[in-house]
């Protein structure tokens, strides 16, 4: 699903934000003066990653009925679920 919606870069940015926050906590425990910059970097990366995850939802094309049509990556093959053919029983 992440690859289908082209969200891999957003996930990588979120992971980088989390890793930089972990590095900040380690450096802050050792009382390194410049550790505050890693905290700022972590916050910026998490905000950018979160906004990037919202991108397909915010910019989805609407069809005539008002339903959102999310554009996916055409190179990714989507597995089609086959419906079970069961007789209707009532």
- For 58-85, give the DSSP string: HTPEE-TTS-EE----TTSPPPPPPPP-
Reported as a pLDDT band with limits 50, 70 and 90, residue 88 is low
Query: What is the tens place of the pLDDT at every residue in 9-19?
Result: 889 999 999 99
The pLDDT value recorded for residue 20 is 96
Query: What is the tens place of the pLDDT at every residue in 21-75?
Result: 999 999 999 989 989 999 999 999 999 999 988 887 777 666 667 666 666 666 7
The pLDDT value recorded for residue 67 is 67
The pLDDT value recorded for residue 57 is 75
């Amino acid at each position: 699903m992440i690859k289908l919606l082209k969200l891999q870069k957003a996930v990588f940015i979120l992971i980088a934000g989390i890793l930089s926050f972990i590095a900040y906590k380690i450096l802050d425990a050792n009382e390194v003066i410049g550790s505050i910059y890693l905290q700022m970097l972590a916050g910026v990366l998490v905000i950018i990653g979160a906004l990037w995850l919202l991108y397909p939802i915010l910019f989805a094309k609407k069809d005539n009925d008002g339903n959102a049509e999310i554009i996916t990556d055409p190179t990714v093959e989507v597995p089609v679920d086959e419906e079970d053919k069961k007789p209707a029983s009532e």
